[in-house]
Structure 1
């Protein structure tokens, strides 16, 4: 029997759909999220979670025995008092949500509630399934006996047709079936698989057949009463369609998953795809008919998005839209209102928000061709990584023409095919922007590397990277040792810009191992998780909002900037601009932080002029300048310019190269001096909007080498009591770009950007010409007119105040 992992179960069980064997292209139109009242931030989500946790803890169960009147003197199967009838299931759901949010069951008040839930013996599918989901979040070796008890009950409750009714009393399974309870029952059985309770393949096959037969053959959805004989509840609904996708996701993964590692394997029927198509055409947050199960539906959509990789449904960015809606509808007491009562509605909302921070670890590129032969490769990877790193992760399907800020949400972009990868010029340009913004492309050739496939890979490499040269990934490269060592397998080639890998190409079919979910080959999963950890700087518990990438300023903000400075990026014989997006990010940073319009000129050294407030000379280890270029730079410095030499990436080769350039420009006999901590470049003193950098953050690699250090380390060459050359052997360029990658020896992005900002502010201050027109005295009988806003210290003007 196939072994089901913890994270796999969490998704497959808890979630309501899984990626089909062949996913059809989503609409290319731009997603239309709700307009939020406030920006969507991690702080808002955390605050909502805190309020919800407190609210659920206040809603304790009725620990004493209930009177018959509490059940309306009705029999178990007929009462409509949901809150009383399903009290054990409701509190199991609530505990599940609390555990998912990081609350410990060992808290006395939760321990009491946990054992109360375990002691209940109600014969309802919902209650049993919710209790198993609750237990799944605890240690399986400690609670497996309890899981087995309910697993045996659920196995007995399966009807011959493969569905579940609302209840089972130990005899013949109910024939009064419905979609909701059939979904709950399947959820519980998947939890049983996690507890190593043996399940027969024929049970999965019966459940699979049941959902395929009850799906509407024309529309592709399900109604609550799809399995019933009466005509009641026959409206096709979002929650029940998502529930149908839930069960088919479980059965398809169990029955078909490993077989699809072969590109020639037969594909399952398209029922699951038709369910996703229905959601992709009908999903909305504003259908009045869906309000009874709204919060359950939103939680379901989150899980469907995880398992399918869809980032939009019906052209709606479901993550942004649903998260904002939940934040906006939470009550002051921390609950959410709904027909099932505040406990159930709050629990489903909390389950959603508890996973709202999960980062997008990897994106899978969709293109015209055979891009999805292994439909579960990326999903299996994120679940394996989440299990290993003990942190939830997401993935999504993307097209290359998405805005860069959306593509950049994923540090890895996975491309896999067994045929030529045909991309348009616009798509190749989108991939180039993604790489320049800090993304890492991972290419997996399926099966044999054919000549057409290899040529198409070369085309991608040439389009996105300079220099475009694939070489063997060194066996001692840091990326091979991040988490799971893979010194020899898989054989891998890569392209680097001297700072970081930009493209990685596997020479073995890693995707086949991912699709089969064969964890006896850890190098297949380990190679990808190592690439992920390398790209995020070894940050295992990373938030979805953790990014230093700055998107463009929205209109019309970008038109209300003041003219600032010109910066020259000097070209030399070598890799002079390894991270082109560094200057785009710097321009956006100065616009956002200082309201300054920055002009960037990338030019040969002989075109350097006095117009440039700052010149950047970037090297990675191969920079060289000749005597005429040295004289041009010295002339620029004598005229008041400032040169910054940066060892991009901070490697030993780059640092030695930067030091050589410094000596060549300052003079072999000249000695550099360390910039003192009282320099305005560090203190930000007397600079309007200046940054106090007396304590800065370095990357982990620096901290490992030198220990805790927070002092700016800049070597400078002084001319007439002012610095004219600044040398940083700790990286600045990658920090400006906003890169999080491991292997970079330098400043964190915020510190790097602030250092350059202070430099520009001081240069602008130095070159600012004082106004020599004498001020007219104000009339004696009138008060002096207030200064203009741009003249005050509180102004956002980009020009620094005069230094005394």
Structure 2
């Protein structure tokens, strides 16, 4: 072993002995997901401390308003409806008379969030009051009397009616149309809204106006789709142009600030709550150049008081919690905005309805948003599933196709759907697939595929896929699903389509927690740009063996292993792996070889001879079975017997240094993927086989994949170790080879 590698390995041993390497942590000006969760926890504790024994909260103004708002905030932050504090609050809320618009609206929202069926009667009664309270102007004021109106009461009234409608309470169509006309009529020339007419536009009221139009867009101006015949929806893609809504968004994009209520200054927390409603209802991550949630979270984390409140105000604390909790939901799906016109989204509410159907079926509340094609790849990777639809397919150039492929290589899953089964999209997508993935042809996904069974049993729907590694990384539906999501009420068909969409999302997400919305996605070093650590001359470079067969099921695994060795183990490693054939002269430059595969293979005699000579010179070989491939496993033992006929090939004992972590991590107990555990319940011992030359371990074989765990997300079909243990065991193997 060369001195440089030995010193690096010894430094790693010292680091592990002291609890791991202490990497320098750069100062962060932005809030992290952990800080947001801490802020939510402290805010909830502050609310609970302020609750009175009778379940209410202090009411300085409108009786019941703060109690409804606090209950809604608790529910939004994940407090269960049957938790005693929430139950006490709900009982108080049920007793509240319907007298004030703010209170009645919040009452509906709280009861509908807690249990829309249990509180059906109260919700419907409150809904009838709000309908009666609408003024002749089409808007609302504080009570059901008089001719005055304002956009603040109107915002809450429409939020309440929206929640009521979703809970099944009937709302007359005339209520929506009257409000729509009034909101359009009272919009200022600059595109914003004020509290009342002839006042200056400002942030919270403009956000309220935009949120109102978004709500009304689902009811007064819905899609013109009607029904579903012959695999398509008549009227698909037809929507009324909503110029007032566009002008409202333009005002927000020009004027957005998180730390102040734009053009007003005060009521910052109310403003952020209104902005959050716009962001969630529209599925937008950005208002212009502003990431509204990240900017708001930064402000709220910095300004929370030590007692958990904001401004020592109950209402400000509730608005802050509503902003943080609802906006913090992890992204499950992003819809790809692949055109500058509306061609990228003939169904505007498809993902919204799908995510509402999914709800918490994946174990946590989830969200969605649209993402521009030109956004950085890191932003695409914020969600495990990237969804695109259309009546036609975009004419992507080579660089654009490469970006989509890079998303797949980094662990993302693409769902492409031919809306209405349009031939133009089908033909365009199939050409794209041939160009972007020439090595992996589209294949029909059979009825046993996880897309049809992972959460719900669904009849096959003609899905096709492109496999990358051991997973189906591109799922293509030549048949329409989005129109059935968009309408969501086509008997039998919509339910089946929503279940299928849920399965696809669950398959893409794998079996690990989704990324925190504020977590920065860090790409591994690009294979064509990576270099040794600056200032070194003796860096280790792993080598991936190229052979005639499935030699690279996980292209990024060696890159991620090298990064783990460099960043977590302190080893001097080149991030870019060498790709080498066994009969090439460069083989002498490769002390550690990695040979992966999933199918049966046989090396030609010259390559076997070169490999045998390399191992006898001191080289080291890692063989790895991926995807549970029986053919690869059947090929390993004959290969070992051919290249090392005199060597013994045995399973490594449980106390072998590779498992004990001498050097390295203690991996005597590991976690396997769900696919392994389904066939081998309770398995937790690692399994490696080895071949020795004159007492030196020269070859290691892993019958369980390390590369699928090294590549990142767990997915259906990953026959191997979970991510953290795959990293640790692979690192132990490398270091063991270096220090032997």
Change (3 A) 1:331 1:264: closer
Give the Å deviation of 1:732: 1.2
Q: Which residue of 1 aligns with 2:282?
A: 308
Distance 1:659 1:518 in 2: 57
Contact 2:56 2:89 in 1 (8 A): no
Q: Which residue of 2 aligns with 1:272?
A: 245
Change (3 A) 1:693 1:482: same
Structure 2 residue corresponding to 1:51, chosen from 35, 39, 42: 42
Contact 2:224 2:237 in 1 (8 A): no
Q: Which residue of 1 aligns with 2:149?
A: 177
The aligned runs of 1:520-539 (5 Å cut-off) are 520-521=492-493, 522-538=495-511
Q: Secondary structure at the match of 1:321?
A: helix
Q: Is 2:110 the partner of 1:134?
A: yes
Q: Give deviations 1:167-219, integer Å, cap 9, x for gaps.
A: 22xxxx43211111001111111222234322211111111111122122x42
Distance 1:380 1:187 in 2: 18
Q: Which residue of 2 aligns with 1:580?
A: 555
Change (3 A) 1:557 1:692: farther
Structure 2 residue corresponding to 1:605, chosen from 582, 586, 591: 582
Give the Å deviation of 1:501: 0.7
Q: Which residue of 2 aligns with 1:631?
A: 609
Structure 2 residue corresponding to 1:501, chosen from 452, 467, 472: 472
Change (3 A) 1:117 1:717: same
Q: Secondary structure at the match of 1:442?
A: strand
Change (3 A) 1:523 1:109: closer
Give the Å deviation of 1:236: 1.4
Change (3 A) 1:96 1:195: same
Distance 2:295 2:435 in 1: 35
Q: Which residue of 2 aligns with 1:250?
A: 215
Q: Which residue of 2 aligns with 1:731?
A: 705
Q: Which residue of 2 aligns with 1:794?
A: none
The aligned runs of 1:492-571 (5 Å cut-off) are 492-518=463-489, 520-521=492-493, 522-538=495-511, 542=514, 544=516, 550-552=522-524, 564-571=539-546
Distance 2:422 2:167 in 1: 41
Distance 2:32 2:410 in 1: 22
Q: Which residue of 2 aligns with 1:235?
A: 200
Give the Å deviation of 1:148: 2.0
Distance 1:578 1:390 in 2: 30
Give the Å deviation of 1:508: 0.8
Q: Is 2:200 the partner of 1:222?
A: no
Contact 1:643 1:726 in 2 (8 A): yes
Q: Which residue of 1 aligns with 2:679?
A: 705
Q: Give deviations 1:302-360, integer Å, cap 9, x for gaps.
A: 332233222222312223222222222111111111xxx61111111112232354221
Distance 1:657 1:256 in 2: 63
Q: Is 2:95 the partner of 1:119?
A: yes
Distance 1:545 1:610 in 2: 46
TM-score by length of 1: 0.81
Q: Which residue of 2 aligns with 1:408?
A: 381
Give the Å deviation of 1:556: 14
Q: Which residue of 2 aligns with 1:323?
A: 297
Give the Å deviation of 1:62: 9.4
Structure 2 residue corresponding to 1:212, chosen from 184, 197, 213: 184
Change (3 A) 1:658 1:49: farther
- Aligned residue-pair number: 696
Structure 2: runs of 5 or more not aligned: 1-25, 226-232
Q: Secondary structure at the match of 1:649?
A: coil
Structure 2 residue corresponding to 1:200, chosen from 172, 190, 193: 172
Q: Is 2:669 the partner of 1:678?
A: no
Q: Which residue of 2 aligns with 1:19?
A: none
Change (3 A) 1:755 1:404: farther
Change (3 A) 1:518 1:651: farther
Contact 1:402 1:430 in 2 (8 A): no
Distance 1:653 1:296 in 2: 62
Q: Secondary structure at the match of 2:310?
A: coil
Q: Is 2:404 the partner of 1:431?
A: yes
Structure 1: runs of 5 or more not aligned: 1-34, 67-81, 767-804
Q: Which residue of 2 aligns with 1:286?
A: 259
Change (3 A) 1:174 1:674: farther
Structure 2 residue corresponding to 1:696, chosen from 661, 670, 673: 670
Distance 1:570 1:448 in 2: 43
Distance 2:604 2:300 in 1: 62
Contact 1:561 1:596 in 2 (8 A): no
Contact 2:259 2:299 in 1 (8 A): no
Distance 2:244 2:628 in 1: 53
Change (3 A) 1:183 1:36: farther
Q: Give deviations 1:618-657, integer Å, cap 9, x for gaps.
A: 1121433111111111111111111111112234444444
Distance 2:45 2:181 in 1: 43
Distance 1:60 1:498 in 2: 54
Distance 1:155 1:390 in 2: 36
Distance 1:439 1:751 in 2: 21
Contact 1:165 1:182 in 2 (8 A): yes
Q: Give deviations 1:660-687, integer Å, cap 9, x for gaps.
A: 54455444x86521122322222222x3
Contact 1:587 1:597 in 2 (8 A): no
TM-score by length of 2: 0.87
Q: Give deviations 1:4-59, integer Å, cap 9, x for gaps.
A: xxxxxxxxxxxxxxxxxxxxxxxxxxxxxxx9846744432332222111100111
Change (3 A) 1:161 1:548: closer
Structure 1 residue corresponding to 2:160, chosen from 188, 192, 197: 188
Contact 2:652 2:690 in 1 (8 A): yes
Q: Which residue of 2 aligns with 1:100?
A: 76
CA RMSD between the two structures: 3.0
Q: Is 2:593 the partner of 1:615?
A: yes
Give the Å deviation of 1:279: 1.8
Contact 1:258 1:517 in 2 (8 A): no
More displaced stretch, 578-587 vs 692-701: 578-587
Give the Å deviation of 1:447: 2.5
Contact 1:548 1:739 in 2 (8 A): no
